[in-house]
Amino acid sequence: MSVSLPTIRVEPLEPRFAEAAQRWAERLGLTLGGEAEYALQQGEQGLQLAELGPKAPGPVRVDFVEGAVAHRRLFGGGSGQMIAKAVGVQSGVRPRVLDATAGLGRDAFVLASLGCELQLIERQPLIAALLEDGLQRALGDPDVASIAARMQLHQGNAIERMQNWQGEPPQVIYLDPMFPHRDKSALVKKEMRLFRPFVGDDLDAPALLTAALALASHRVVVKRPRKAPIIDGPKPGYSLEGKSSRYDIYPLKTLQPQRSE
């Protein structure tokens, strides 16, 4: 049974952003203006996605410079964070990571801020557009430009890209598949309400895991809600559990510190 996607338009929030809005409309195959349930809006603060209607939540955009991501960068605990431990960040070890379910890029940004080189794949074109816009703005900010420069975004199907990977494989592949019951924070609730009509649940998570295990050289890390079942397939070697999330780790090879020249 096919599910119809909600209608979406592109619009500039001010006349001076009309040209940029037109470019996004052409790239994404969307209409500029007109009746719609959602709007991809270009404005002073960048590109944002908004649900239209009287009871709609506020818009969502990617911001690596200010807000929650900046607070996490400055006060989040550095290499002591659970995600850092999960991917293997330790003294002398900053693995090359592929985030195959990039979303809005927050976890990837944390790892990049710790010195890891990140490849990101996002298959939903709207989310990829928001992420691309956020990365471009971050590259222009002196505080985070060096972090954003360690993040390379690809839009497309992660399973296909992993199966047809060119060049040196990533040491660590990080997966955070969409799941029905997630973090209950107000921010995530708003984002899930906006994105779920376009994204749905990742029913192909087992295929994602299979492709990741075939490509990664050292480990695969899967982020799950704390009480969620493991993804169908091989069992993880071990898990790290926090208050709301859990990291299932599939070790393939030990990460070794880089030797100084």
The reply, when asked if residue 201 is annotated as ligand binding, is no
Check residues 61 and 195 and name the one with the higher pLDDT.
Answer: 61
Is 35 assigned a ligand-binding role in the annotation? no
- Does an H or E element contain 36, and which? none
- Which CATH number do you get for residue 173? 3.40.50.150
Residue 35 shares a structural domain with residue 118: no
Q: Residue 203 pLDDT more than 80?
A: no
176 is known to lie in a ligand binding site: yes
pLDDT at 197 over 90: no
Residue 5 has pLDDT above 60, yes or no: yes
Q: CA-CA distance, 73 to 75, in Å (whole number)?
A: 6
Query: Would you say 123 is a known binding-site residue?
Result: yes
pLDDT confidence of 66, banded at 50, 70, 90?
A: confident
- Contact (CB, 8 A) for 190 and 57: yes
Residue 130 belongs to a domain:
yes
Position 261 in a domain: no
Does 60 reside within a domain?
no
Give the percent of the chain with pLDDT over 90. 72
* pLDDT, averaged across the chain: 89
Count of domains for the chain = 2
Dist. CA 142–CA 140, nearest whole Å: 7
Q: Which residues span the domain enclosing 21? A: 8-51
Output the CA–CA distances (angstroms, integers) from residue 97 to 148, 230, 232, 248, in the order listed.
Answer: 14, 21, 23, 16
pTM for this entry: 0.90
> Is 143 labeled as ligand-binding?
no
Residue 1 lies in a domain: no
User: What's the rounded mean pLDDT across residues 97-121?
Assistant: 95
